Structure 1
C-alpha cells in the first residue's frame, strides 16, 4: 500500500509555509528538509514512506510553494534551524524524526545537535564537515553576482544542476516540475541568499555536539554524487557515533534514481 501525497500549509512567523504531507496523521512524525532544491526532491519516496511515518516535507521560506522571502542574514544554517523548529511548533511536533538533503542536511544536523527534540536522523547526500559550498554556489557570496542574477539566469543554472543531480535522463515534464518555483524575482533573491550564506564553519562547529549526542543516524547516499562526495559520508560514520551508511545507485538526488531503495533504507532506520 502507498499513501497519497497532499500539499498543506502552516503559518510560521507571519509567512505561509508549504509542505508535502503523506501518511497517517497519528503516526510518528518525520520532518523532511531540502537544500538548494525544494520539497520536490522528497516526492518520489513519500507515498512509500507514508507507511512508516507521518511525513511532512517542508518548503523553506521563499522556496517551493512557501511564502516569505529569505535574505542573507536569515539564510544561514542556525537561522534556518530556528525556522524549522518554529514550523515544528506550529505543526504541534514536540519530538520528531528528521531528514535532510543537501544544505537541508546541514540544517538537520544543527536541529538534531542543539534542540533535544530529534529522535532519529536521516542525512541524504547532505553537506557535512567542509564538503560545501561547491563553486557554483560559493560565487553568490559576491553581492554583485547576486544583484546581477536574473530569473532566466537562475532557471538555466537550476536546469543544469537538476540534470547533473540525477543519473537517469529526466523527462521534459519532470524537469519543468523541478523548475516551477524559480520563475519570479523573489524566488531568485531567496535562492541566492541561501547560496550566499553557505558556510562550512556551521557544520564543522557541530561535530563535537554530534559526537556527544551519538544520535541514531542513517546516511543514505547516491554513491555517484558529483556535488557531495560519498567519501564525506564514509568519514561521517567513522567519526560520529551512532551513525551508519547505506549507499544506493544514483547521484545527488537519489530519490529520483533509486526511490525504492531510499524509502526502504529510511523506513528501516525509522522503525527501530
Structure 2
C-alpha cells in the first residue's frame, strides 16, 4: 500500500470472486473480524479503512469531502489490486459508498449489500454540527458515547470503541461532511445490481425504516431485519449477517447445486445432502461452489466433453466408486454406452490395462443396472 491508497486487508483465494467490505464511520477493518474470514472461504475479501481510520492516511480527504470522493478511493484501491468488477457490502457510511458505486459506477458492481445505512442521513445539520465539534474538541467525548450509538445495552466491542477514540479528528470531520451532503434518494430506482438491505432492528442511527425506503425504491431489492442488532450489526450479530450475505452473494453455490443435480441426478444429490454432517458441510459446500458452480458451468467445454475428461481422470487415479457415479452422469449428459466403452478403451493405452480392466467391470455393472431399471 502507498499513502495514496486506502489501507486494506486482503484475504481469501486471489482467483475467487472479489468482495469489498466497507466500514462505518469511526471504525476500522476490525468491524468485519467475525464475518470476513468466513466469507473468504468463497471470495477474495478486501476490507478497507476510511481515511484517518485504522491504517489509512488522514490526508486522503479534506474539508468538504463527499461520498463520491470516498467511492473514487475505493475504485482506485480496486484498480491497484487488478479488480474490475466486484461484489460490495458496507455498513453505514460504507453502505452509502456502495449506493454511490451502484448509481454512478454500475459497470464495476456485480452485487450490493447495504447494512445499517441510509440513502440520506437525517439531513445535513446534525453532521455539520458533529464535524464542527470534532474539529474543535477532538474525538474523546464522542467516543465515550459510542456504545449507546453502536450497540444494544450491555454489549460492546472495546477494540472498535478504541478505533473511534484514535481516529484522526480532521479526517473524521471530513467524513461527517460527506454524510451531511449525501442524499441519493432520487437515484435509487436506477440501481441495477442485485441489492440486499440489512437493518438492525434496534438501530437508533439508521432505523429499519431507512433500509425499507431503499428496498422499496431499488428494483428487485430485498430487506432483512436482524433482531437484537443495533448499528454495527456485523460486530454484534455476525452469524446473522454472515447468513444473509452468503445467501445474497453465493451465486456459485446456487448455480452449482442446480448443475450438480442435472448431471448426477436428484437421487444421488439428495443422498449426499442427507449424509451431510457439520463435519462435512464445508466440503459439500466446496463441491457445489467450485466443482459444479465454477468448473462444470464454464461454457468453454460441453458437458459431454467434461464427462469424458472426468471418466479418464477417475480411471487414471483408480477412483472406481466415483467412476460408477460418473458413468451414470455420462449417460445423463448424453454419452452412449459405445462412447463410454471407447473412452475406457483409450484409458487402457494411457492409464494401463489393469486400470481399464477394473473400469470396464464398473461400467458394465452400472450400465446393466440402468438397462434393468429402464426395462
CA deviation after TM superposition for structure 1 residue 130, in Å: 5.1
Q: Provide the residue aligned with 1:126 in structure 2.
A: 117
User: TM-score normalized by structure 1?
Assistant: 0.82
Q: Is the 8 A contact 1:134 1:227 kept in 2?
A: no
Partner Cα separation in structure 2 for residue 26 and residue 48 of structure 1: 16
**Is 2:195 aligned against 1:217?**
yes
Residue 178, structure 1, aligned to residue 166, structure 2:
no
Tell me if structure 2 keeps the 8 A contact 1:138–1:196. yes
Give yes or no for the alignment of 1:203 onto 2:184.
yes
Conserved 8 A contact 2:135-2:169: no
Once the two structures are TM-superposed, the CA of residue 237 in structure 1 deviates from its matched residue by 1.4
Count how many residue pairs are aligned between Structure 1 and Structure 2. Answer: 247
* Deviation readout 1:144-170 (Å, 9 max, x if unpaired): x344223xxx13312312443112534
Q: Residues 59-74 of structure 1 correspond to what in structure 2 (within 5 A)?
A: 59-69=49-59, 70-73=61-64
Q: CA deviation at 1:107?
A: 1.3
Measured after TM superposition, the shift of residue 127 of structure 1 is 2.2
Output the aligned Cα RMSD: 2.2
Q: Which has the larger radius of gyration?
A: 2
Change (3 A) 1:17 1:78: closer
Report what 2:83 is aligned to: 93
Distance 1:118 1:232 in 2: 22
**Displacement, 1:182?**
3.5
Identify the residue that residue 20 of structure 1 maps to in structure 2. Answer: 9
Distance 1:160 1:34, change over 3 A: same
Q: Give the structure, 1 or 2, with the largest relative contact order (CA under 8 Å, sep 6 or more).
A: 1
Secondary structure of the residue aligned to 1:98 is: strand
Q: How far apart, in 2, do the equivalents of 1:68 and 1:129 lie?
A: 24
Say if 1:216 and 1:243, in contact at 8 Å, map to a contact too. Answer: yes
Could you tell me which of 200, 209, 233 is aligned with 2:211?
233
Q: Which has the higher helix share?
A: 2
Q: Give the match for residue 3 of structure 1.
A: none
Any idea what SS the aligned residue of 1:82 has? helix
Other structure's SS at 1:241 match: coil
Structure 2, unmatched stretches of 5+, are: 252-375
Inter-partner Cα distance in structure 1 for 2:92 and 2:12: 24
The aligned counterpart of 2:242 is 263
Partner of 1:242: 220
Q: Is the 8 A contact 1:88 1:94 kept in 2?
A: yes
For structure 1, the 5+ residue unaligned runs are: 1-9
Change (3 A) 1:267 1:175: same
Partner of 1:81: 71
Measure, in 2, the Cα distance between the counterparts of 1:65 and 1:214.
33
Which structure: greater strand fraction? 1
* Displacement after TM superposition at 1:218 (Å): 0.5
Listed as ranges, the matches of 1:110-125 within 5 Å are 110-115=100-105, 116-125=107-116
1:165 paired to 2:156: no
